[in-house]
Structure formats: C-alpha cells, structure tokens
Amino acid sequence: MTNDHSASDRERQLDAITWPRLGKRWSECTISEMETVLADLRSEIDANEVRIARMQARCDQYDAAVADGLEQAAKWANGLVQLENWANRNHR
C-alpha cells in the first residue's frame, strides 16, 4: 500500500510539472516531450543558481559594509574615549 501511495504522489508531482508546460500528464508525454521538459527545468535551475549567486554576493557586500561600519564606529568611539581621557588629564 505504501508503494502505491508514493507512486501516486510521484505521478502527481510529475503531472504538476508537465501540465502547465504541455497541457498533459507526464504519463501521456512522448520521450521527446519529456526531454524538452527536463531541458527546460535544467535551464530554470541554472538561471536560479545564477540569481542565488548574485544575491549571495550582494549579501556578502552588505555584510562587509556593516562590518566596516562597525569597525569605523568602534574607532570613532575609541577616539572619543581617548579625547575624553586627554581632556580629563589636561583640565585637572
């Protein structure tokens, strides 16, 4: 019973892929149509991988900018502390 259930799940998943592209169920497709659908899916995957890589690069740039900003803020804060210490020493 479990095998029948998983087979029907697979069929539904495959049909969900082929129906919008070809207007037919996977089991009704010719080998050529199946190969075309698979090639389209590979192209979509490749395009999505490029998009993901671009988004990751943007995230990395953002992270670097935030880290740089935090470092600059720390230097600025440290400079204020040093200035305050200098002022306290010289105004006693």
Could you tell me what percent of the chain has a pLDDT over 90? Answer: 67
Looking at residue 15, its amino acid is D
Rounded to a whole number of angstroms, the distance between the first and last alpha carbons of the chain is 89
Instruction: Give yes or no for a contact between 34 and 26, defined as CB atoms under 8 angstroms apart.
Output: yes
pTM of the model as a whole: 0.61
**Using one digit for the tens of pLDDT, what is the confidence trace for 55-83?**
999 999 999 999 999 998 888 888 877 87
Give me the domain span that covers residue 32. Answer: 2-90
Q: How far apart are CA 21 and CA 84, in angstroms?
A: 70
What is the structure's pLDDT at 67? 95
Total number of domains in the chain: 1
